[in-house]
Amino acid sequence: MSASVNERFTISPLLAFFVFHAIQWGIGYFSFQRVLVEAVGQDAWIVVLMAGISFHIVIWMLYQILNAHQSDIVHIHRKLFGKWLGGMLSVFLIIYFVLLGTMVLRSFIETIQVWIFPQMQTWVLGLVLLLLAHYVVSGGFRVIVGICVFSLVQYMLLPTYGFLASYLHFSNLTPVFEHSFTDLIKATGQITFSYLGVEILLICYPFIKNPNESQKWVQAANFVTTLFYLSIIIFSLAFYSRDQLSNEVWPTLTMFKFVSLLSPPGYN
């Protein structure tokens, strides 16, 4: 049993890079620094690397399963476990995606309420975001991919970190390896939420042309995500003291408050 998808609804393997990078680059990067610093202090950047490597392995494992059956996880469940047990496993997977989506939605709403519209009611923001999501999804998988590509314009904001150069103290990153390997492994679980999203491959695998060739692009997406989170955690450790970072709910957003595009006093 296999999942057959009309070719006009599929995407090239290259576009898989944009899909999975956009999925991983989510709400988690606003606040993941705080929980890591509370757990392992200045060794938080090591945990980011370890998590990135772990997800490279997870992606490889997913492709081993999917390439062997050339189908999505729903058909694989039915093939291996039968109609009823396989269907039940698929239902559990659906519940997982619903819960994950609910967590992401609530996190976005909370961020918008705190930073932009503090008087806006939760249900109003939730309804607007859900209607927007429905509009995009109803357009088909290719429309979703287009939104994922467009979302990368966020990279235009990264050069603004250069304005923080005078505030950075990279000595905050020392001493290195002050915490045990066991502590680092435990802290890896604290950043897992920021890397989640690659599991959607279990569903969208049939929508990729020549899906066997897409693994290198999905791995590349995870690699870029790891580099991005690594740069964020290094900038955060260099910008804040350990105590400050432990008390900042949204360290990434707070750093932007120090960015000034105005000329310094006395500048001609």
Q: What is the pLDDT of residue 3?
A: 58
Q: With 50 as the cut, is the pLDDT of residue 268 above it?
A: no
CA 153/CA 132 separation, integer angstroms: 19
Q: What is the pLDDT of residue 85?
A: 93
Q: What is the pLDDT of residue 265?
A: 47
Query: Which of the four pLDDT bands, split at 50, 70 and 90, describes residue 260?
Result: low
Q: With 90 as the cut, is the pLDDT of residue 210 above it?
A: no
CA 190/CA 202 separation, integer angstroms: 24
> Between these two residues, 257 and 216, which has the higher pLDDT value?
216
Reported as a single tens digit per residue, the pLDDT across 182-207 is 999 988 888 888 888 889 999 999 99
Domain parsing of the chain, residue ranges:
8-252
Q: With 50 as the cut, is the pLDDT of residue 84 above it?
A: yes
Q: What is the pLDDT of residue 64?
A: 94
Helix H, strand E, coil C: the string for the chain is CCCCCCHHHCECCCHHHHHHHHHHCCHHHHCHHHHHHHHHHHHHHHHHHHHHHHHHHHHHHHHHHHHHHCCCHHHHHHHHHHHHHHHHHHHHHHHHHHHHHHHHHHHHHHHHHHHCCCCCCHHHHHHHHHHHHHHHHHCCHHHHHHHHHHHHHHHHHHHHHHHHHHHCCHHHHCCCCCCCHHHHHHHHHHHHHHHCCHHHHHHHHHHECCHHHHHHHHHHHHHHHHHHHHHHHHHHHHHCCHHHHHHCCCHHHHHHCCCCCCCCCCCC
**Range 8-252: architecture per CATH:** Up-down Bundle (1.20)
Percent of the chain topping pLDDT 70? 94
Q: What is the pLDDT of residue 63?
A: 94
Q: With 80 as the cut, is the pLDDT of residue 14 above it?
A: yes
Judged by average pLDDT, the poorest of 62-76, 221-235, 245-259 is 245-259
Q: What is the pLDDT of residue 46?
A: 92
Q: What is the pLDDT of residue 218?
A: 94
Mean pLDDT of the chain: 86
Longest dimension (CA), the chain: 75
